[in-house]
Amino acid sequence: MGILREDFQKIGGHDPLYAPQSKEDSDIFNRFMLDGVEFVQTWHGCVYHMTCRGSRRNTVDKAKNIYEDSPEWLAQNQRSTRNFIRKWGHFVMHDALMKPIVPPKYDIGIILDGKDLIEALEPWCSAIYVKGDYSEYVTKEQPNTLYDLRERIKPFDNEKNNEILVEVGQPTFTQQDYQIIQQLTQIIKQQGQPGRFQLGNMVMEIVQMNEYQNTLINI
């Protein structure tokens, strides 16, 4: 990737949310595109990417060999993936030529009538309302993110003022429902309109569909 220093500085550089590595490049590509930077791809470039010397396949970090990911890299990649989802509301997305695809960022609140699914669902929303004691999850997960989980996770009976609300019944939640959650921003963009709807075994209420992805351009 070749860029001008002023373009890099304009958006604030790399986001420390992903330190020391993993997903920071996808994050900055998203932000460049939203900021209007033009992408030009050459088919005649050649760059040697020696991954075996990085942290990913570093035997110093207990990788068994240079063909296997190290435990350190796997753990960091999981942390950064969860933080990317918290920030953007989706997995890394790009087209066949690797140009970023950035769906809308909505203000989504998940209402969860239990606590067993909190680890799976918390990154996919702006706020999650949980029935039960979630302090153990906060203690375990807070070291893995710069987001204040005490602001993101709220008691079940807390006032719910998100623009989009998704009610999740823990006993009826299925893998198919989880796949819907993972594609929720795209579903809302394509089919959403104000109202209350059945969504798999869940119920979604759309009050407003304001988009916030452009607020993520700057650190």
Last residue of a domain, one of 88, 116, 136: 88
CA dihedral 140, 91, 86, 112 (to 10 degrees): -70
pLDDT of residue 27 exceeding 60: yes
| Identity of residue 126 | S
Percent of the chain scored above 90 by pLDDT? 76
pLDDT of residue 192 exceeding 80: no
Q: Which tokens belong to 6?
A: 């002023």
Q: Are residues 124 and 198 in the same domain?
A: yes
Report the predicted TM-score, pTM, of the whole model to 2 decimal places.
0.92
Q: What's the CA gap between 218 and 127, in Å, rounded?
A: 22
**Assigned domain for 102 exists:** no
Q: What pLDDT does 50 receive? A: 59
Angle, CA of 80, 131 and 212, to the nearest 5°: 45
Write the CB contacts of 80 (distance below 8 Å, at least 6 apart in sequence).
Answer: 17, 18, 21, 22, 23, 24
Q: What's the CA gap between 121 and 117, in Å, rounded?
A: 6
pLDDT of residue 3 exceeding 60: yes
Q: What's the CA gap between 82 and 92, in Å, rounded?
A: 11
Q: Are residues 57 and 124 in the same domain?
A: no
For the chain, the domain total comes to 2
Q: What pLDDT does 188 receive? A: 94
Instruction: For 119-139, write each residue's pLDDT tens digit.
Output: 999 999 999 999 999 999 999
Q: What pLDDT does 71 receive? A: 86
CB-count burial class (<10 Å; 0-12, 13-18, 19+) for 136: exposed
Q: What's the CA gap between 163 and 185, in Å, rounded?
A: 13
Q: What pLDDT does 51 receive? A: 54
pLDDT, average across residues 107-111: 98
**Assigned domain for 176 exists:** yes
**Assigned domain for 211 exists:** yes
Q: Are residues 84 and 169 in the same domain?
A: no
Q: Is-contact 213 105, C-beta < 8 A? A: yes
Averaged confidence pLDDT in the chain: 92
Instruction: For 37-94, write each residue's pLDDT tens digit.
Output: 998 888 887 776 655 556 677 777 777 887 788 888 899 999 999 999 999 999 999 9
Q: Residue 127, by phi and psi: left (phi above 0), alpha (psi -120 to 50) or beta?
A: beta
Q: What's the CA gap between 4 and 68, in Å, rounded?
A: 35
**Assigned domain for 41 exists:** yes
HEC assignment per residue over 119-160: HHHHHHCCEEEECCCCHHHHHHHHHHCCCCHHHHEEECCCCC
- Number of C-beta neighbours around residue 31 at 10 A: 25
Among 47-51, 86-90, 168-172, 176-180, where is mean pLDDT lowest? Answer: 47-51
Which residues constitute the domain of residue 21?
Answer: 5-88
Q: What's the CA gap between 153 and 128, in Å, rounded?
A: 5
**Assigned domain for 100 exists:** no
Q: Are residues 119 and 83 in the same domain?
A: no
**Assigned domain for 101 exists:** no
pLDDT, average across residues 186-202: 92
**Assigned domain for 195 exists:** yes
Q: Are residues 83 and 145 in the same domain?
A: no
